């Protein structure tokens, strides 16, 4: 009966060795699959999640900076000349209408 405990301990050692070997194989297979997947994605021009997040963060920072610069520029500039010309055009149009009415009124009298 003494042979039994040795058999069980030997079997446990073999099982631990096999588990260790399978764990190493699993890691190696994961590395191979991830390398091939990355190569395939790079060949198609796709980016990784980390690259995408980095570019998105950079884009958001640049958009905020642009908005701040545009706001500073708008605050520093005086009123646009186009807005002044529209405001000046309204009295001219009224003057033309008044001149037109007075000319039409003089025609009727004669």
Q: Residue 35's pLDDT is what?
A: 94
Distances (CA, A) of 32 to 2, 25, 40, 48, 110: 46, 10, 12, 17, 103
Distance CA 50, CA 55 (A): 9
Q: How does pLDDT run across 71-98, given as a tens digit for each residue?
A: 999 999 876 655 555 555 566 656 666 6
Cβ distance 48 to 38 under 8 Å? yes
Determine if the pTM surpasses 0.75. no
Distance CA 1, CA 25 (A): 37
């Amino acid at each position: 009966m003494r042979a039994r405990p040795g058999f069980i301990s030997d079997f446990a050692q073999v099982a631990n060795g096999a588990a260790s070997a399978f764990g190493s194989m699993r890691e190696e297979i994961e590395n191979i699959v991830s390398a091939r997947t990355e190569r395939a994605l790079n060949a198609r021009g796709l980016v990784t999640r980390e690259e995408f997040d980095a570019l998105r963060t950079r884009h958001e920072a640049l958009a905020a900076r642009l908005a701040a610069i545009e706001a500073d520029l708008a605050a520093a500039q005086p009123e646009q000349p186009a807005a002044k010309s529209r405001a000046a055009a309204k009295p001219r149009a009224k003057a033309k209408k008044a001149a037109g009415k007075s000319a039409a009124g003089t025609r009727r009298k004669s």
